[in-house]
Every structure is written in structure tokens, then in C-alpha cells.
């Protein structure tokens, strides 16, 4: 994050949105009790669209005051550590790919016929010129490792218990944000997530703009990351297809696969 540290997507930012498969069986309706702990809620949110393995097809729109850019991509995940994201449209971006292997991140640009491992100093840079960063794609379990998570509010709305979580990094945590806040329903659907700097000024916000059924569960179908310091700067991710119980081979998460080789 730090412009994100999947989603998300995000994918949990992009970690929840992009690199996410299932904690719950398709016929199981999971709802957190009103007495659920903060960690249980966060774990449920992280796992809602991520599990043993998954495949998703998504559309991404990058919006600026004077232009818009539309892209399509595919994403495969395995557990909470590995993910491959490949752009399929438009033609000039097709084949551009990002591979996450545990804490390492690799990129491939077919026009250059070159793959590169991203150094930690570049992880906060924009991913694909969007409002997501490479860190956003790599942070799936960082909340559970590096943050103290607390429930700071709860209320009833639309037949759901709505929880507000506050996530404060430990003093020695290798993260950039000074604080993050998340609002989610009792069925683990994330409604919003806000990222604050070290002075606790809100700089970015992810919000769910549409919720519906896909892949056997109710999930955020459209999520928007907004740059709060730059008016009318946002990136929207929209699910087109999802298989949260996909049989994805381990060979998909290799540098050969990153280059599109089989």
C-alpha cells in the first residue's frame, strides 16, 4: 500500500480485489457473530475471495480529470502467498504480467522481452499507472503479522452488523501507513478501507460500489481506489468472472508462466 501494501485487493486493497479464493464452501453462508473478534473479522474478509486457489477475470478503469483508460486482466492465486496477474486488453498492454511469489515480486513486459524483480524501494510505485501500488498486490497477510487490529465501532444497517476496524502497525513493522481503517459487514464483505500516513492524514480510500453474487458467494463486484490528495483520481476494479475453487497448477506460479511460456 503505501499506495498500498490484493488485494487487497484486494486485493486489503488490491489484495482483496485482485489476488483473492474461498474460505467457505459454496453452499455455506458464513456470518460473523456480533461477538466476533477483530482478528476473526479481518481473517474472514481476507479469505472471502481467496482460498486454496482461484481464477478471476477483471476489468480495470483508470480515471483522471482529462482522460480514462480501460483494461482487462486475468488473475490466478494459490493460497495467500502466490499470484499471477496478466493483462489481456487493450492489445498494447496484452501480455504485461506481474508475479508474486511469497515476498518477491516480478514483472514482465513482452515488448521488452524482459522480466525484472522489483526491489523493495520500488514497491510503493504505481502498478500499471493505476492508483494501486505494487505493495497493494503483496500484502494479503500483512495485517495479521504487522498490525494490531481493534473493533472501534459496530452498528446495524440493512439487516447486517457493520463493523469498523482500526489497524495500527506495530512499532517495528516494515510498513509505511501510520494507520488503516476498514468497514465491513458481518458476512465479511468489505465496504471501505482508508489509508492514513504517519500524521494520520487520510491519503487513499478503497470503497465497494456494488455487491452481488459471483462464484457461489456474495462479494464486492466493483471496488474503487481513490487518491484523496488528487481530486477525481481513481481506479476501479470490476469482477467479470470468478472461480474460487479453480484447479490451478503450481506451474502457473513460475517465471516461465510469467513470460507466458508453458
| 10: pLDDT strictly greater than 60 | no
**Which is more confident, 23 or 85?**
85
Q: What is the DSSP pairing of strand 202-214 with strand 190-196?
A: antiparallel
CA pair distance 117, 121, nearest whole angstrom? 11
Q: Is residue 237 situated within a structural domain?
A: yes
pLDDT more than 90, % of the chain: 58
Instruction: Kindly state the DSSP code that residue 120 receives in the 8-state scheme.
Output: G
**What integer is the mean pLDDT of 194-211?**
96
Q: Is residue 5 situated within a structural domain?
A: no
Q: What is the pLDDT of residue 24?
A: 43
Q: Is residue 212 situated within a structural domain?
A: yes
Complete DSSP assignment for 32-49:
--TT--HHHHHHHHHHTT
**Which is more confident, 134 or 55?**
55
Q: How many domains does the chain have?
A: 1
Q: Is residue 262 situated within a structural domain?
A: no
Give per-residue pLDDT as tens, 102-159. Answer: 888 999 999 998 899 988 778 788 888 999 888 777 655 677 788 999 999 999 999 9
| 4: pLDDT strictly greater than 50 | no
- Three-class DSSP category at 190: strand
**Which is more confident, 35 or 61?**
61
User: Of the candidates 95, 134, 119, which has an alpha carbon nearest to the alpha carbon of residue 258?
Assistant: 95
Q: How confident is the model at residue 168 (pLDDT cuts 50, 70, 90)?
A: very high
User: Of the candidates 122, 132, 74, 79, which has an alpha carbon nearest to the alpha carbon of residue 101?
Assistant: 79
User: Of the candidates 9, 114, 131, which has an alpha carbon nearest to the alpha carbon of residue 58?
Assistant: 9
Burial (CB < 10 A; 0-12, 13-18, 19+), residue 155, is: exposed
Q: Is residue 195 situated within a structural domain?
A: yes
- Is the Cα dihedral 149, 40, 158, 182 positive or negative? positive
Q: Is residue 261 situated within a structural domain?
A: no
Whether the upstream peptide bond of residue 10 has omega within 30° of 0, thus cis, is yes
In Å, what is the CA distance from 126 to each residue of 123, 131, 165, 197? Answer: 8, 6, 26, 17
Q: Is residue 71 situated within a structural domain?
A: yes
| 56: pLDDT strictly greater than 90 | yes
Partners of 183 in the β-ladder: 164, 192
Give me the domain span that covers residue 165: 13-252
Q: Is residue 4 situated within a structural domain?
A: no
| 79: pLDDT strictly greater than 90 | no
In Å, what is the CA distance from 15 to each residue of 6, 46, 91, 97? Answer: 1, 8, 25, 16
**Which is more confident, 91 or 138?**
91
- Is the Cα dihedral 260, 57, 190, 35 positive or negative? negative
Instruction: Kindly state the DSSP code that residue 254 receives in the 8-state scheme.
Output: S
The CATH number that applies at residue 242 is: 2.50.20.10
Q: What is the pLDDT of residue 5?
A: 33
Amino acid at each position: 500500500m503505501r499506495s498500498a501494501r490484493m488485494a487487497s485487493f484486494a486485493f486489503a486493497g488490491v489484495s482483496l480485489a485482485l489476488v483473492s479464493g474461498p474460505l467457505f464452501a459454496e453452499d455455506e453462508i458464513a456470518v460473523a457473530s456480533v461477538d466476533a473478534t477483530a482478528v476473526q473479522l479481518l481473517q474472514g474478509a481476507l479469505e472471502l475471495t481467496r482460498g486454496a486457489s482461484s481464477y478471476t477475470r477483471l476489468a480495470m478503469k483508470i480515471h483522471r480529470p482529462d482522460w480514462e483508460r480501460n483494461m482487462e486482466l486475468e488473475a490466478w492465486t494459490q493460497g495467500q502467498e502466490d499470484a499471477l496477474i496478466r493483462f489481456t486488453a487493450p492489445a498494447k498492454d496484452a501480455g504485461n504480467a506481474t508475479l508474486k511469489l511469497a515476498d518477491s515480486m516480478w514483472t514482465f513486459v513482452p515488448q521488452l522481452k524482459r522480466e525484472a524483480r522489483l526491489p523493495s524501494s520500488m514497491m510503493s510505485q504505481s502498478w500499471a499507472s493505476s492508483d494501486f501500488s505494487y505493495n497493494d498486490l503483496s500484502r494479503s497477510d500483512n495485517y495479521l503479522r504487522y498490525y494490531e487490529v481493534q473493533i472501534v465501532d459496530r452498528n446495524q444497517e440493512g439487516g447486517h452488523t457493520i463493523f469498523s476496524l482500526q489497524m495500527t502497525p506495530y512499532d517495528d513493522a516494515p510498513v509505511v501507513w501510520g494507520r488503516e481503517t476498514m468497514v465491513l459487514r458481518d458476512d465479511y464483505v468489505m465496504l471501505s478501507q482508508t489509508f492514513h500516513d504517519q500524521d494520520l492524514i487520510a491519503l487513499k480510500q478503497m470503497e465497494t460500489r456494488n455487491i452481488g453474487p459471483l462464484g457461489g458467494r456474495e462479494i464486492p463486484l466493483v471496488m474503487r481506489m481513490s487518491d484523496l490528495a488528487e481530486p477525481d483520481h481513481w481506479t476501479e476494479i470490476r469482477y467479470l468472472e470468478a472461480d474460487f475453487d479453480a484447479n490451478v497448477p503450481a506451474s502457473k506460479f513460475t517465471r516461465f508462466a510469467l513470460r507466458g511460456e508453458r
